[in-house]
Amino acid sequence: MQTDQIKSLVVDALDDMKAQNITELDVRGRTSVTDWMIIATGTSNRHVAAVAGNVEEKSKHAGLRPNGTEGRAASDWVLIDLGDVVVHVMTDQARHFYDLERLWGEPEDSGEPEEDNE
């Protein structure tokens, strides 16, 4: 399954369960672990668990076996590793605390010219 197909499947599975603030982050070149992170917010721990379960179910139904799932016990942040795509389903509180978009998003322009090391 191609990366774009995996991303589409994940976004559809998240949307089916009414996950909020679905964000796709291109992390190619910033980590060797994955190419894309998809982050979504659940309204409660139960909702996070249900949303993550739907992503796993839809992935398996499409013939894609997750490499691993972490955080199901606490359910404030569940990570599903689909290889080229890693899915993070988080409560609003966890999402704000860990702020993955800031950590893995595009670097902000400081307004300072870059030094030329020649």
Q: Write down the pLDDT at residue 86.
A: 98
**Tokens 């992935």 -> residue:** 59
CB-CB contact of 40 with 10 (8 Å): no
**Amino acid type, 36:** W
Q: Which of 105, 98, 101 is nearest to 76 (CA)?
A: 98
Burial class (CB in 10 A: 0-12, 13-18, 19+), 105: middle
Helices within 2-118 (DSSP H only): 3-16, 45-61, 92-98, 100-104
Residue 95's SS3 state is helix
Q: Write down the pLDDT at residue 115.
A: 56
Phi, psi of 29 (to 5 degrees): 85, -10
pTM: 0.87
Q: Write down the pLDDT at residue 110.
A: 47
**Amino acid type, 105:** G
End-to-end CA separation in angstroms for the chain: 44
Q: What is the largest CA-CA distance in the chain?
A: 55
Q: Write down the pLDDT at residue 39.
A: 98
Least confident of 18-22, 49-53, 72-76, 98-102: 72-76
Condensed to tens digits (0 to 9), the pLDDT of residues 86-95 reads: 999 999 999 9
Residue 80 — pLDDT band, cuts 50, 70, 90?
A: very high
The reply to whether CATH 3.40.640.10 applies to domain 3-104 is no
Condensed to tens digits (0 to 9), the pLDDT of residues 6-60 reads: 999 999 999 999 999 999 999 998 999 999 999 999 999 999 999 999 999 999 9
